[in-house]
Structure 1
Amino acid sequence: MNHSRNTSHSILFLVQAAMIAALYIVLTALAAGFDLASGAIQVRFSEVLTVLPFFTPAAVPGVTIGCLLANILTGSALPDVVFGTLATLLGAIGTYALRKHRFLCTLCPVVSNGIIIPLVLRYAYAVPGALWFLALTVGAGEVICCIIFGGVLISVLLPHKGRLFPASMEEKSA
């Protein structure tokens, strides 16, 4: 019986991660279609999903794999594929680590992307401007996506948390 529960939990985890990854890719493609997902000033709609580790640990690999595949599919430079994915991973891990702090957890992707992505823009794409300016513009886009839209997403999903993100066995025993 315990094996069946572990298998069900593993399948649920994989399905949630895959759905989040797919959503990330679609939202990135949408933002790219409107030329909002690249350059010094960017609003990548998919970054709103980096708040989902607030609800489920499956969102950490979900947004990470989604970011990796989205960067590859949109033709990003190799340093962007590697370090952009790293920034998303760090933001998602931070969100999960601070999941008990509803508002504070949305800052993690802003910080990780605000530090890493300006370096990617400068050294992978030769985007002109001071690093502090690039950090400011990337950070502004992240504030819009993660803190504002992410905060709204958390508020909308919170009443449905139990149905959308069933607690794992580890979470129930904690």
Structure 2
Amino acid sequence: MKKLPRMALIAALYAAFTILPPFYAFAYGPIQIRVAEAFTVLPFLFPETIFGLTIGCFLANLLGQVGFLDIVFGTLITFLAALVTSKMKKAYLAPLPPVLFNSFGVSLYLAKLFQVPYFYSVFYIMIGELIACYGIGYPILKILLKRGIVRR
């Protein structure tokens, strides 16, 4: 019974931490730190958050300025990264799928859209993902684990 509210909360938080000021200013483009990506570690503990993250990402990309490619492929990449995160065996690996999927996947279309070299985009998105996922998300995950939250 807690799964639907948890899914909705994550969707709302992801969208809010992407589209609201001051987060919007640095959540889009070939150089980005999408703070909402910190939530992408949650499928490690709560598989239902896969859909919350996907919906939240869809809403954030729909309301962003990047357009169709980000709405479709950005959302798909978030879904795939969350799905793989839910399969990780160790907590310290939970942030890795979003870092890799977004760095290499999102850069495929952002490099073209913003006319920057592909590996330039990979590098800067990876830095942003490392900050969000390992710098913010992983400590949150460790706190939840320390509080006795177990994988479902």
Fold match (TM-score > 0.5): yes
Equivalent residue, structure 2, for 1:121: 110
Pair member with larger Rg: 1
- Indicate which of 89, 95, 104 corresponds to 2:93: 104
Task: Name stretches of at least 5 consecutive residues in structure 2 with no aligned partner.
Answer: none
Provide Cα deviations, 1:28-70, integer angstroms capped at 9, x if missing partner.
Answer: 1236655111122100110000000111011100101110011
Q: Secondary structure at the match of 2:46?
A: coil
For normalisation by structure 2, the TM-score amounts to 0.91
Aligned to 2:140: 153
**Distance change >3 Å, CA 64–CA 31, structure 1 → 2:** farther
Paired residue for 2:131? 144
Conservation of the 8 A alpha-carbon contact between 1:17 and 1:59: yes
Tell me, yes or no, if structure 1 residue 29 matches structure 2 residue 19. yes
Moved over 6 A (4+): none
1:71 counterpart letter in structure 2: N
Q: What value does the CA root-mean-square deviation take over the aligned residues?
A: 1.8
The letter for the 1-side match of 2:139 is V
Residue 66 of structure 2: aligned partner: 76
- Given the two structures, how large is their TM-score scaled by the length of structure 1? 0.80
Identity across the alignment (%): 36
1:72 to 1:131, Cα distance in 2 relative to 1, 3 A: same
* Per-residue deviation, 1:95: 0.7
Instruction: Return the structure number with greater relative CO, CA threshold 8 A, min gap 6.
Output: 2
Partner of 2:32: 42
Q: How has the CA–CA distance of structure 1 residues 81 and 145 changed in structure 2, closer, same or farther, with 3 Å as cutoff?
A: same
Query: Distance between the aligned counterparts of 1:31 and 1:96, measured in 2?
Result: 30
Q: 1:57 aligns with which of 38, 47, 68?
A: 47
